[in-house]
Amino acid sequence: MIYLVLFFMGLLQGLTEFLPVSSSGHLVLLSQIFNVEESLFLSVLLHIATLLSIVVVFYKDIWQLIRHPFSQKTISLVLATIPTCVIVLIILPLVKSSFGGALLPYCFLLSALLLFVTEILSKRKVGSGISNKTAVIMGIAQGFAVFPGISRSGTTISAGFLAGGDKKEVTKFSFLMSIPIILLSMIMEIYEIFTGSVSLDFPPFAIVISFLVAFISGIFAIKFMMKLTEKGFKWFSIYLLLLGITTFFVI
């Protein structure tokens, strides 16, 4: 049974990290349904898996950022990361308490509403590239998207597009700006592991399966999302609406 649970946790992490449906929200919901306690060790490994997915898909863009550390895109990433970190540090106690699941249905519904509004407005405007203003707005949106049930990718893409950015460019930038945040999340979780008593409660082979599934499904989700951007988020909005309503009866 635990092998199947970890398989689905890896699949959910890989797919929902990049699709606009909230990976943390799905993992909290899955944990509640199967009564699985949160594992920091597993969380770190799954974050590494999804980070590697981004590196594989966007290795050319990442290499350019490394080669040109003072380019406009690098500056935009820094401008996006700063407000995210500030907001997260301020609301961190509230975020930690939200992982109990009490806010989960409302956050799913909020994500559904945001995607629905973006879907409507996307038919009325044409975006441009990523300006510094767009980067900051996306960074602010990313800061508030740390609550389980609020999609990070959906929120940042919607915020970037509503701020005037081109959908395709905003989507790619959304994935790139997740790299420093995933790294910082990993560092915080690793710190908690070494400062607390953490035991490995899952079979090692089950963890390997979960890692590989998250990595492979993450690559698929990123490529799928890049193609899907042009078609809109209507079906994801409907999915989150139904999921939010259902979660009221599960949590």
Q: Tens of pLDDT along 176-201? A: 999 998 888 888 777 777 776 555 56
pTM of the model: 0.88
Q: Is 165 helix (H, G, I), strand (E, B) or coil?
A: strand
Domain ranges of the chain: 2-247
- Average pLDDT, rounded, for the chain: 87
Distance CA 198, CA 20 (A): 31
For the record, the structure tokens of 6 come out as 């970890």
Q: Tens of pLDDT along 55-112? A: 999 999 999 999 988 899 999 999 999 999 999 999 988 988 888 888 999 999 999 9
Nearest Cα to Cα of residue 221 among 49, 64, 45, 31: 49
Distance CA 104, CA 107 (A): 5
Q: Per-residue DSSP letters for 101-145? A: STTHHHHHHHHHHHHHHHHHHTTT---B---HHHHHHHHHHHHHT
* Residue in the structure block whose two tokens are 């999915």: 239
